[in-house]
Amino acid sequence: SAAMNGTCSQGWVAFQSSCYRMGKESKPWKVAQQICKTSSRGAHLLDIGSEEERRFILSYLQTISQIIMLWTGLNDLKSRVDFLNFDAGLKC
């Protein structure tokens, strides 16, 4: 994949074997999920899988101070969940 080679499409940032894009628009979770899926083949909302990925996301977000609200692949569409102390970002 392009991320394996360290190159991603314009507007995307490579880290390990993935490409990341941070959206600047505020959207509801379902809309963000749909935009992400249609923006690039195989794209999905972020699911942080390692401490290294979490540190990368936090570091990258510090360079984009305009972003206030971020969605992850985590949602409460099927049941009520209280979200406490989790880091959020968009893989797409």
Q: Domain range holding 56?
A: 22-73+88-92
Give yes or no for a contact between 29 and 75, defined as CB atoms under 8 angstroms apart.
yes
pLDDT at 17: 86
Give residue 53's pLDDT: 92
**CA 16, 17, 21, 22 torsion-angle sign:** negative
Is 69 within a domain?
A: yes
Total tally of structural domains belonging to the chain: 1
Examine residue 59 and state whether it is found in any structural domain, yes or no: yes
**pLDDT (tens digit, 0 to 9) for every residue of the chain, 92 residues total?**
555 566 788 888 899 888 988 877 778 888 888 888 888 888 888 888 899 998 898 888 877 765 555 555 555 555 544 443 344 444 55
pLDDT of residue 32: 87
The answer as to whether 67 is a domain residue is yes
d(CA 6, CA 66): 26
